[in-house]
Amino acid sequence: MKLFITLFLMSCSFSFAAEKPNFIVFLIDDMGVMDTSVPFLTDKSGKVVTHELNKFYRTPAMEALAASGVRFSTFYANSVCSPTRASIMLGQTAARHKTTQWIKPESNNRGPFGPEKWNWEGLTKKDITLPVVMKEAGYKTIFCGKAHFGPKGYDGEHPDRLGFDVNIAGCANGQPGSYYGKLNFGNGIAKRQKRAVPGLEKYHGKDIYLTEALTLEVNKEISKAVEAKKPFFTYMSHYAVHSPFEPDSRFVDNYKNSKKDKRAKIFASMIEGIDKSLSDMRKHLVSLGVAENTFIIFLGDNGSDAPLGPIHDIACSAPLRGKKGTHYEGGMHVPFIASWAKASSSSAIQKQFPIKQGVVTKDFADVTDLYPTILEMAGISKPKNHIIDGHSLTSYFAKQEGSRPQKFLMHFPHSHRSSYFTSYRENHMKLVYHYLPKNGTHYELFNLESDPYEQKNLAETDQESLKRMLASMKVELSKSEAQYPVKNGEELKPE
């Protein structure tokens, strides 16, 4: 009898050890770090500070996720979407994978001086993407929502060519034709057909918002994975809160008494719709009995595009400066929360990768870190012959601190709201190098410890730091074999 019990316990231990965690990457389009009631920013002592914009938004599900997990006060993405999405899929900086601009579905979006050979064709079926690696390790890989991995007619148009078993509504488009089921999400509507959302015909003509439809569909696929007893990797990538700014009628009345303008209220209702999606997915995981073994990473793909104030000022990302598409902190500062879907002291997987609940770390990290973090937690070796620029963040989850190098490179050799620049941060110093300066100087230099809102350019007064930062930036660009703007046939490298 004792032998039987011993063998039974050994078999149980093996089962628990062999069990793999599930993963959900919950990505929101155009959501900056201030577009939520969850406060992320800290003061010099590390204390979390609630700002006015945090009081405007209503996001209780994000608050609950933050309370059960770890968030970074500073988490970086690229300042536009396609570069970030490629970085998540590859674990590489945009300078390395060469998708340095947002991908236009119909044509090359190089701009007048952009690199001739930038990767506007996007991801291909030959790339060693995160879902490819997860699929090979036995995971069911599910994609839902906005893809924007490549233009029409190329592999990146189809997430199921990039390692996903399932593709729900993903295509080349960077925005939806409409958020309304009554308008068929743009399908058959003359002025919206160009950006129509595919594959959701069952909801056409119905009174349903796109965010809700996507949530219903992804939950069905997660149920199928659980029924098949397969671990799942789900990339839940909402089209919201990208324009067109169309109110989510379920929540718009919550902002009717606000003094902000109509478009800002619409944007807030869209944010709250995302919050409900997060809540519904967590509830669904609980109902399936897999919440304790499912790890959620919640983040945005670039800085805020909320319709609040001038592009380069302290406005929509206040107190941070700038918004989506800019080289300032508001353009690349995004929310990041990592948490188990349901905390459990008895979960073997959670014991292996514990979360210090409700804490904020002052170190910074970026979107290249998702790839190695997820691989480590899944017990998967890094693929050979594939460079990974990111670093695993698991030590931050358990201890609120880690050894990630405090560097961030954001390379944008194209034209947009801020044009032809490299933004490089090392520890508390930040350098912005302008390849085609309009104001007579190539340099902006900020001390983000004493000047987190980028009001004082130190490029003229701190020459020692400028030289050091410029040298470090050049090293990082060289490592990545970066491409540069081209003018009159000449490549413009940093001076």
Quickly state the pLDDT bin for 46 (edges 50, 70, 90).
Answer: confident
Closest CA to 148 of 214, 215, 235, 222: 235
Give the CATH number, domain containing residue 273: 3.40.720.10
Q: Tell me which of 160 and 4 has the higher pLDDT.
A: 160
pLDDT tens across 298-340, in order?
A: 999 999 999 999 999 999 999 999 999 999 999 999 999 999 9
Three-state DSSP class for residue 135 = helix
Which tokens go with 80?
């536009």
- pLDDT of 111 > 90? The answer is yes
Half-sphere exposure at residue 126, Cβ-oriented, CA atoms within 13 angstroms: 4
Residue 212 resides in a domain? yes
Half-sphere exposure at residue 125, Cβ-oriented, CA atoms within 13 angstroms: 7
Three-state DSSP class for residue 189 = coil
Quickly state the pLDDT bin for 9 (edges 50, 70, 90).
Answer: very low
Same domain, 269 and 382: yes
Same domain, 286 and 392: yes
Predicted pLDDT of residue 439: 79
Residue 38 resides in a domain? yes
Give the CATH number, domain containing residue 436: 3.30.1120.10
Mean per-residue pLDDT for 421-442?
A: 95
Residue 248 resides in a domain? yes
Same domain, 398 and 438: no
pLDDT tens across 115-142, in order?
A: 999 999 999 999 999 999 999 999 999 9
333 in Cβ contact with 46 (< 8 Å):
no
Which tokens go with 261?
């303008």
Same domain, 261 and 238: yes
Pick the last residue of a domain from 386, 406, 426. 406
Pick the last residue of a domain from 406, 437, 463. 406
- pLDDT of 6 > 60? The answer is no
- pLDDT of 41 > 50? The answer is yes
Same domain, 445 and 367: no
Same domain, 484 and 366: no
Same domain, 397 and 469: no
Residue 398 resides in a domain? yes
Same domain, 399 and 427: no
Q: For 78-172, list the strands marked E by DSSP.
A: 140-145, 166-168
Closest CA to 487 of 119, 120, 99, 112: 112
Q: For the purposes of burial, counting CB atoms within 10 Å of the CB of 329, is it exposed (0-12), middle (13-18) or buried (19 or more)? A: buried
Predicted pLDDT of residue 72: 97
Half-sphere exposure at residue 321, Cβ-oriented, CA atoms within 13 angstroms: 13
pLDDT tens across 87-103, in order?
A: 999 999 999 999 999 99
pLDDT tens across 50-89, in order?
A: 999 999 999 999 999 999 999 999 999 999 999 999 999 9
Residue 8 resides in a domain? no
Q: Which residues, other chains included, contact 2 with Cβ-Cβ below 8 Å and sequence gap of 6+? A: none
pLDDT tens across 384-419, in order?
A: 999 999 999 999 999 888 999 999 999 999 999 999
- pLDDT of 4 > 60? The answer is no
Predicted pLDDT of residue 10: 36
Q: Which residues, other chains included, contact 23 with Cβ-Cβ below 8 Å and sequence gap of 6+? A: 134, 232, 233, 234, 294, 295, 296, 297, 374, 377, 378
Half-sphere exposure at residue 223, Cβ-oriented, CA atoms within 13 angstroms: 10
How many residues belong to the chain? 495
Quickly state the pLDDT bin for 16 (edges 50, 70, 90).
Answer: very low
Closest CA to 411 of 321, 472, 465, 477: 477
pLDDT tens across 199-219, in order?
A: 999 999 999 999 999 999 999
Predicted pLDDT of residue 45: 86
pLDDT tens across 345-383, in order?
A: 999 999 999 999 999 999 999 999 999 999 999 999 999
Mean per-residue pLDDT for 452-466?
A: 98
Same domain, 390 and 487: no
- pLDDT of 483 > 60? The answer is yes
Closest CA to 210 of 255, 243, 254: 243
Tell me the percentage of the chain whose pLDDT exceeds 90: 94
Same domain, 128 and 249: yes
Same domain, 366 and 238: yes
Same domain, 383 and 281: yes
Half-sphere exposure at residue 218, Cβ-oriented, CA atoms within 13 angstroms: 31
Measure the CA–CA gap between 411 and 372, rounded to whole angstroms: 21
Q: How many domains does the chain fold into? A: 2
Residue 201 resides in a domain? no
Residue 77 resides in a domain? yes
Q: Which domain holds residue 245?
A: 21-175+208-302+335-406
Measure the CA–CA gap between 472 and 365, rounded to whole angstroms: 18
Predicted pLDDT of residue 388: 98
- Give this prediction's pTM: 0.95
Pick the last residue of a domain from 406, 426, 458. 406
86 in Cβ contact with 94 (< 8 Å):
yes
Predicted pLDDT of residue 401: 86
Residue 423 resides in a domain? yes
